């Protein structure tokens, strides 16, 4: 059901500093920041030959990333994102197995302009999983 790894997301307290580390120290192709108000984050994507790294930081006090950074002030891996061919079929199959879809269960449009869903980390070995329609 899942396809390729789309990205690994890292929550960071300082988006500019984190982007500079990837750009200036690691020599990565760092894209400009983009606000994602529907998700309460600002993101920067780092393009790698085989996948992407997503740096994310809170956008406003109600951001879901705020609690993560309160527990992990230096930041850390927040989630992994896998591609699926049909996000509705994937959601329905997962729910039929007892997996919990976060939020309303309806896909939202993610940072790449495609539908996304998040799956409860307790159902996936402590890892928050994002699914993105390919």
pLDDT of residue 106: 96
Q: Summarize the confidence of residues 104-124 as an average pLDDT.
A: 96
Reported pTM: 0.94
* Active-site choice (16, 83, 106, 130): 130
Residue 69 to residue 55: CA distance in whole angstroms: 13
Contact criterion met (CB below 8 Å) for 121 and 64: no
pLDDT of residue 35: 96
Q: Does residue 76 surpass a pLDDT of 90?
A: yes
Tens digit of each residue's pLDDT (9 = 90 or more) over 17-69:
999 999 999 999 999 999 999 999 999 999 999 999 999 999 998 999 999 99
pLDDT of residue 61: 87
* Backbone conformation region of residue 60, classed left if phi is above 0, alpha if psi is from -120 to 50, else beta: left
The full set of domains in the chain, from first to last, is: 2-133 (3.10.180.10)
Q: With H, G, I as helix, E, B as strand and everything else as coil, classify residue 5.
A: strand
130 in catalytic set: yes
Strand blocks (E) in 12-134? 29-30, 34-36, 41-47, 52-58, 76-84, 108-109, 115-119, 128-133
Residue 69 to residue 73: CA distance in whole angstroms: 5
């Amino acid at each position: 059901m899942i396809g390729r790894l789309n990205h690994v997301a890292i929550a960071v307290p300082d988006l500019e500093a984190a982007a500079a580390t990837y750009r200036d120290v690691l020599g990565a192709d760092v894209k400009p920041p983009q606000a994602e108000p529907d998700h309460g984050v600002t993101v920067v994507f780092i393009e790698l030959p085989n996948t992407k790294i997503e740096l994310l930081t809170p956008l406003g006090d109600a951001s879901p990333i705020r609690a993560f950074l309160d527990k992990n002030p230096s930041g850390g891996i927040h989630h992994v994102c896998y591609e699926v061919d049909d996000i509705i079929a994937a959601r329905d199959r997962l729910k039929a197995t007892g997996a919990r879809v976060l939020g309303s269960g309806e896909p939202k449009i993610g940072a790449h302009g495609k539908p996304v869903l998040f799956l409860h980390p307790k159902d996936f070995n402590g890892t928050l999983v994002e699914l993105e329609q390919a």
